[in-house]
Amino acid sequence: MFKPTFIFKIALFVILASTLAYGQRAHPSKPTETGGPLLPEQAAFDVQTYDVSISADPKTKWIKGTTVMTAKVVNSTDTIILHLDTPYTIDRVFGQGTDRQVGLKYTRDGGKIRITFPTRKQKGETFETIISYSGYPRVAPNPPWVGGFIWAKTPSGADWISIALQNDGADLLFPVKDHPSDKPETATMRITVPDPLVAVGPGVLDGTVKNSNGTSTYIWKMTNPIPNYSILFDAAPYRVIKDSVKSITGEMIPVEFYVLPESFENGPKLIEETKKYNAFYEKYLGPFPWRSQKLGIVETPHLGMEHSTHIAYGNKFRYNEDGLDWLMLHEFGHEWWANLVTARDWNDFWIHEGFQSFMDTLYLEHLGKKDAYFTAMKGRAKATRNIQPVAPRGEKFSYEVYLQAPDYVQSDGDIYGKGAVVLHTLRYLIGDDAFFRSLRRMAYPRKEMETYTDGRQQRLTDTDEFLKIAQEESKMKLDWFFEMYLRQPKLPKLVTAITINGTASKVVSMQWETPNNMPFPMPIDVVVDGKTQRIEMKNGRGSVTGSNPVVDPNGWVLKTQ
């Protein structure tokens, strides 16, 4: 067994850490549905705001809540559908009449609430629903991957409430339009918990109300659009560490880290690390998007999740030899890939996880460890499964893309690792300039968007938009590349043959073997006589003459191993 070099160890650590954490992990049960085909009764309206009031009692593991949703009618309708998880009982459903609240007719069908208005709503009209409900929330079977509530205890035995919703949907917490294609323009959370718990949510703390019954209500206002699965809270006897960091825009970003009292000493170091990650992301992707809100971190009992402006951090302040906290690097980067740039449908989940995993590995190069970057990418390429397409076409439930068919109790992982290597291979194909311009434009399509802090900076997107951007920046046709690596699961195979030509020189003939003979004119590096040559593979074929040929020594091109 060979002794891994130091660089290899770092690279291995980064790959293993993220692959183990997120790659191919087994789960005790399948998540519930979130996203999927958008129903007409969902498509008919565009959510403007959620105002979510929740009172949580860790003793009984019971909550009650009221959600006020305002929305604009997109297609005239008299019926809308919201989702609310089955363990909850609905107490009342009201709408705002011209002068007062009116009871609305509704039916429940599993997790669906079908609400019928007394009169048809016309396009452009705004309406409000007020839904009160209560019950025992679903307890998360394996957070953060299979979600729900976590009623935990801190090391000192205090209550520690946490929630994870990504693969199940925000309907596990409040009545919501459960689809990634509709982020509210703003979200308010009014969270009531027993003292001395502190509840932390998205956006800015707008106020705290001390109630006479030994509870307090924490009011959080997020005034930028936010993915539904980030509209949640964590509560514990948190202490807050406040700091700030300068953005490349020159603005000061408020930093708030809500830590357990036991972890207070560890807080400042992680904040300093996070400032380095912020500088890295701002360098490649543009400014931290939520400068008008906060750079927020919350210590959680589960491993972590990219909750916008209140990143869930559960890595217990573990750093690798390089002083790197891979979990914080990963989750914080999602403020760009997931929260600023959000997949319109879960079929494009890789835009979150693949782009982020690419950044996780690029950070090694950013640290000046290009070899470690290559080694990490080779490790990711080796770990690909190639059974499900990274970006399948068609509307998908989150679990259909995140987990392995047919049972959906095992993570697939290719949206992470394979997604990252696909971007790595694209970088080789189009070159660093075009590639990093494409990455920046995928984050902020127009320069002026980097100046916005009112919500216009974020957007919904899909794989085809990235194809368009990369083709424009590289002035190359790239649809064949996206079809091969993203739209179907199998990898291309490079078949090489060495023959001796008339002058006794070695000729390396290469040919791409592809599923269904898909076109794949992918160039590849070959080192011959000690020199690296980039061999164009027009029509999937190419050759080079010379001795001691080594094909793709850096592992730039994703192919069968």
How far the first Cα of the chain sits from its last, in Å, is: 21
Least distance CB 107 / Zn ion (angstroms):
37
Which CB atom, from 85 or from 353, has the smaller least distance to Zn ion?
A: 353
Least distance CB 430 / Zn ion (angstroms):
25
Least distance CB 329 / Zn ion (angstroms):
11
Least distance CB 218 / Zn ion (angstroms):
27
For residue 376, what are its two tokens? Answer: 């990490």
The DSSP bridge pattern shows strands 126-135 and 88-96 to be antiparallel
Interface positions, 99-138, toward Zn ion (CB under 5 A): none
For residue 48, what are its two tokens? Answer: 């403007």
Which CB atom, from 303 or from 430, has the smaller least distance to Zn ion?
A: 303
Least distance CB 227 / Zn ion (angstroms):
13
Look up residue 110 and give its amino acid.
Answer: G
Which CB atom, from 328 or from 364, has the smaller least distance to Zn ion?
A: 328
Which CB atom, from 77 or from 357, has the smaller least distance to Zn ion?
A: 357
- CA–CA distance, 308 with 338 (Å, rounded to integer): 9
Which CB atom, from 353 or from 412, has the smaller least distance to Zn ion?
A: 353
Least distance CB 439 / Zn ion (angstroms):
17
- CA–CA distance, 362 with 281 (Å, rounded to integer): 10
Which CB atom, from 106 or from 288, has the smaller least distance to Zn ion?
A: 288
Element (H, E) at 188: strand 186-194
**How many other CB atoms are there within 10 angstroms of residue 161's CB atom?**
23
Asked if 173 contacts 231 with a C-beta cutoff of 8 angstroms, the reply is: yes
Interface positions, 138-197, toward Zn ion (CB under 5 A): none
The DSSP bridge pattern shows strands 311-313 and 295-299 to be parallel
- CA–CA distance, 491 with 500 (Å, rounded to integer): 29
Least distance CB 173 / Zn ion (angstroms):
20
Which CB atom, from 325 or from 353, has the smaller least distance to Zn ion?
A: 353
Residues 417, 521, 429, 443, CA torsion sign: negative
- CA–CA distance, 230 with 226 (Å, rounded to integer): 7
Least distance CB 425 / Zn ion (angstroms):
20
Q: Is 109 helix (H, G, I), strand (E, B) or coil?
A: strand
Q: What are phi and psi of 397, to 5 degrees?
A: -70, 150
For residue 353, what are its two tokens? Answer: 């996880």
Least distance CB 356 / Zn ion (angstroms):
5
Interface positions, 329-368, toward Zn ion (CB under 5 A): 353
Interface positions, 406-465, toward Zn ion (CB under 5 A): none
Look up residue 434 and give its amino acid.
Answer: A
Site string for Zn ion, 244-283 (x = CB under 5 A): ----------------------------------------
- Across the strands, what pairs with 299? 313
Which CB atom, from 41 or from 353, has the smaller least distance to Zn ion?
A: 353
Which CB atom, from 301 or from 419, has the smaller least distance to Zn ion?
A: 419
* DSSP, residue by residue, 100-129: SEEE-EEEEETTEEEEEEEEEEPTT-EEEE
Q: Which residues bind Zn ion (CB under 5 A)?
A: 353
